[in-house]
């Protein structure tokens, strides 16, 4: 019980309780950190997770009675020494962990799922789902957690489509066009996504389309630019996406591009070119990673289109849509 790990646990609890006392309702925590701490008996804390926890806890050291933990025990411990000590597997220690995690979302129920990587809740009946989605929409529209993005945005880009869809597509973040019109995938990449859907025999209205971030990543001094979301923006916004997925409960999630894959599955997953085409598990739902349509606009090779198409054939089958012989043959030859 006197290990650095337990000291860290105490410091985390103390810090979170201090924050809670100050009225803080939530703190961003990376999914992989949560997964690491959720099953400490099996999972060594990843270096990212250790760094993340250290970052969360460190302010507490300056202002509270929390025990001070030598930084080498946090960020630079060897992989061997980062394995959670067996003592932590005790019931008492686990309940202290739950307490630490439970403190975080207790004043904001809509953020619970991101903190415990919970399995999906039971699906809501249609009317309740529509009401919950409308409520979620108004919460997201009012969100200003990333104050810099709230200040620069023209629109909050919630998502479009059928809230009862069998397939839910997740992209990276709104770009300039999406920010202007408030719809995801409204620019050139969106046109290509629409064409892919048409080839699948579907329309934008029959699937649900959204992004990891609901606001356009700002590019100060370059109003027409786009940039990748930063990790803290992703962890701040992710709970909104998780809630959308909780409500839609699609049969299949499609993660478009590396950012979406990493946001949903956590860092430490393989790269998109390795992962695409192979089913992943997202909180019990089948998740298909595939290339982002913007990649297909940059790389015009037929072989790349075919790869995405093969992923979509798998998605159609898994979602229960029929696949014709003609569809199976798309993008095999140039004509
Ligand atoms: N790229 C994305 O990932 N999402 C959009 O909405 C548009 C472009």
268 pLDDT band, cuts 50/70/90, is confident
Q: What is the whole-number distance in angstroms between the Cα of residue 17 and the centre of ligand 1? A: 38
Q: Is the dihedral of CA 257, 263, 265, 269 positive or negative?
A: positive
CA distances from 299 to 99, 293, 296, 303 (A): 49, 10, 5, 10
Q: What is the whole-number distance in angstroms between the Cα of residue 90 and the centre of ligand 1? A: 45
Residue 334 has pLDDT above 60, yes or no: yes
pLDDT digits (tens, 9 = 90+) for 157-215: 999 999 999 999 999 999 999 999 999 999 999 999 999 999 999 999 999 999 999 99
Fold of 126-328: Uracil-DNA Glycosylase, subunit E (3.40.470)
What does pTM read for this prediction?
0.69
Q: What is the whole-number distance in angstroms between the Cα of residue 286 and the centre of ligand 1? A: 22
Ligand 1 neighbour 289 (Cβ under 6 A)? no
What percent of the chain has pLDDT above 70? 65
pLDDT digits (tens, 9 = 90+) for 29-83: 555 555 555 544 433 444 444 444 444 433 322 333 333 323 323 222 232 333 2
Q: Indicate the domain borders of the chain.
A: 3-100, 126-328
Q: Determine the atom of ligand 1 nearest the C-alpha atom of 211.
A: 4
């Amino acid at each position: 019980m006197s290990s650095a790990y337990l000291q860290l646990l105490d410091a985390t609890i103390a810090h979170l309780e201090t924050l809670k006392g100050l009225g803080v309702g939530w703190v961003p925590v990376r999914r992989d950190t949560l997964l690491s701490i959720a099953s400490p008996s099996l999972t060594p804390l990843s270096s990212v997770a250790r760094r993340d926890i250290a970052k969360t806890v460190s302010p507490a050291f300056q202002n509270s009675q929390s025990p001070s933990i030598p930084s080498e025990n946090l960020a630079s411990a060897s992989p061997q020494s980062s394995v959670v000590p067996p003592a932590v597997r005790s019931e008492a220690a686990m309940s202290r962990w739950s307490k630490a995690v439970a403190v975080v979302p207790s004043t904001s129920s809509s953020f619970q799922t991101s903190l415990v990587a919970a399995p999906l809740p039971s699906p809501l009946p249609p009317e309740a789902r529509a009401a919950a989605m409308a409520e979620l929409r108004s919460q997201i529209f009012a969100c200003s957690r990333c104050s810099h993005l709230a200040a620069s945005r023209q629109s909050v880009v919630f998502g479009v489509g059928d809230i009862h869809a069998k397939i839910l597509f997740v992209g990276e973040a709104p770009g300039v066009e999406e920010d202007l019109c408030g719809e995801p995938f409204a620019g050139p990449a969106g046109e290509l996504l629409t064409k892919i859907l048409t080839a699948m025999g579907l329309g934008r209205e029959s699937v649900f389309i959204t992004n990891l971030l609901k606001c356009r990543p700002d590019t100060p001094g370059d109003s027409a630019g786009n940039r990748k979301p930063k990790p803290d923006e992703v962890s701040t916004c992710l709970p909104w996406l998780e809630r959308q997925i909780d409500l839609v409960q699609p049969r299949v999630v499609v993660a478009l591009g590396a950012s979406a894959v990493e946001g949903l599955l956590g860092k430490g997953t393989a790269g998109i070119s390795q992962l695409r085409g192979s089913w992943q598990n997202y909180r019990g739902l089948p998740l298909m990673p595939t290339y982002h349509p913007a990649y297909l606009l940059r790389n015009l090779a037929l072989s790349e289109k075919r790869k995405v198409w093969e992923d979509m054939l798998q998605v159609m089958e898994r979602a229960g849509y029929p696949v014709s012989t003609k569809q199976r043959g798309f993008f095999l030859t140039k004509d």
